[in-house]
Structure 1
Amino acid sequence: MISVDTAQLYAWINAFLWPFFRILGLLATAPLLGESTIPKRVKIGFAAVVAVAIAPTLGTMPDVPTASFAGIWIAVQQVFIGIALGLTMRIVFAAVQTAGEFIGLQMGLSFASFFDPATGANTAVLSRIMNMFAMLVFMALNGHLLMLGGFIRTFDILPIGIGALDTNGWGVLIEWSSQVMVSGMLLALPLIIVLLSINLALGILNRTAQQLSVFAVGFPITLSVGLIVLAVVLPQSTPFLTRLFDSGYAAMARLAQALAGS
């Protein structure tokens, strides 16, 4: 006859439940896997399948009752860890969207925006296009699998435990968030230089030929040249995006190490 005591039951539940909470935190904020267009039931089912798959490899869990205050605190910690790791990769795509905002502003398309269900706010058309392009590159490079693999390795770097998280880890996340502006500007820099040169030339033309209406001529010129340059530059931005994705994976590892205090 098989007998199961309370300690064994808690161990089995915790081995699944606490990794499950960390995975749910990742799916709440991570790009591609955490998009709002994916039904919540699919996300929960996916998190449950991954938790069942990795639970036997995670080692011994803390000997804490699941419904105790300590168990609830561990669950809350796992949710915050997953959210922070997901935000690390979300920042990469926020940089791409920021580049689209910069380019749209220079091309005169900053007013062309529509509601984006992924962000819950109005988003520029070029930001949405560049974000979709980055998503396609991300999937083509198996970035979603690399992100998930890097996330699973964080259980070795930052194992599930009762101790408090190191506050320096949140500083790593804040420092990495600077890439939104830095990488976004670098990605948009070729088009900004070209469009700024055109605007400078139109300004000189307006001073030399004042009878010419620059406002009537300048917008079609900047829009046409911007679209042509964008069609040339965007396919060549794959190496830059690849390095940006690799930096995101490395930032996930740094964040886990910092939260672990190592």
Structure 2
Amino acid sequence: MITITSAQLSTWLALFIFPFVRILAMIASAPILGNRQVPVRIKIGLSIMLTIIIAPTLTIQPNVDPATALGFLIMFQQILAGLAIGFTMRLIFTSIEMAGDIIGVQMGLGFAIFFDPKNSSYVPVVAQFLGTIALLIFLSMNGHLLMLEALADSFHIFPVNSTTSSAIALHTLVSWGSSIFSNALQLSMPVIGTLLIVNTALGILTRSAPQLNILAVGFPITLIIGFAMVMLTLPYIVPLLENITRASLNTVLHIMQLLNKS
């Protein structure tokens, strides 16, 4: 007769529930997998499947009951780690969409907005276009698999234990948010520079010919030149996205190392 004690049951539950919480938090906050179009049942099912694959390779601190105060502390740490991974990877697409927002405003398309079903919000058309292109590139370079690989590595860098997390990790995570502006400006700078020259030329033309209707002439010119520069800038999205993805993965591993330091 096989007998199962409460201690064994608690150990098996801890072996499953702690990794499951981190994986579910990452999937809920990560790009692509965390989109609102993905049903909750699929997210939970994918989290369970990944937990079944990853959990046997982990070493969980023994004698930790998930229903105790220590268990809730460890669970909170796992949620924090999962959200940190997902948030760091989501900033990749946020920077690309911000670049499209800046380009759209400079082109005069700031009023042209489109409903974004991924985030259930309204975004400029150019930002939606660049975001879709970045999403396709990210999938073609297996970025979603690299994200899952970083998740698996995080369990070995920041194992499931009762170690008190360092506040420096949160500061590093917040500091990584500044990459949104630098990456967005890096991508949109050619278009901004070109349109700045165009607007300067139109301003000089208006001063030399006051009877010229600048609204009727300038708007089509900025649109044509803006779209032309966007077409010329598209090939440079691939290396930029690769660099941002690589930097994001390194940041994830660095944050996990800082979380493991008390």
TM-score normalized by structure 1? 0.97
1:8 is the counterpart of 2:8: yes
Instruction: Give the match for residue 150 of structure 2.
Output: 150
- Aligned runs of 1:1-262 on 2, under 5 Å? 1-261=1-261
Specify the code of the residue in structure 2 equivalent to 1:221. I
Specify the code of the residue in structure 1 equivalent to 2:133. F
* Per-residue deviation, 1:151: 1.3
Specify the code of the residue in structure 2 equivalent to 1:98. M
> How many residue pairs end up in the alignment?
262
For 1:192 and 1:241, how far apart are their aligned partners in 2?
A: 19
Q: Percent same amino acid among aligned pairs? A: 39
Runs of 4+ in structure 1 off by over 3 angstroms are: none
Unaligned runs of at least 5 residues, structure 1: none
Select between 157-166 and 95-104 the one with higher mean Cα deviation: 157-166
Deviation track 1:35-87 (CA, whole Å, cap 9, x = no partner) reads 11100100000000000100010123342112122212211221121011110
Q: Note if contact 1:29-1:87 (Cα within 8 Å) is conserved in structure 2.
A: yes
Select between 179-188 and 228-237 the one with higher mean Cα deviation: 228-237
For 2:236 and 2:163, how far apart are their aligned partners in 1?
A: 46
Residue 210 of structure 1: SS of its match in structure 2?
Answer: coil
Specify the code of the residue in structure 1 equivalent to 2:144. H
* Per-residue deviation, 1:254: 1.0
* Per-residue deviation, 1:198: 0.7
Specify the code of the residue in structure 2 equivalent to 1:73. L
Specify the code of the residue in structure 2 equivalent to 1:35. N
TM-score normalized by structure 2? 0.97
Unaligned runs of at least 5 residues, structure 2: none
For 1:130 and 1:62, how far apart are their aligned partners in 2?
A: 48
For 1:75 and 1:65, how far apart are their aligned partners in 2?
A: 11
Residue 136 of structure 1: SS of its match in structure 2?
Answer: helix
Select between 205-214 and 59-68 the one with higher mean Cα deviation: 59-68
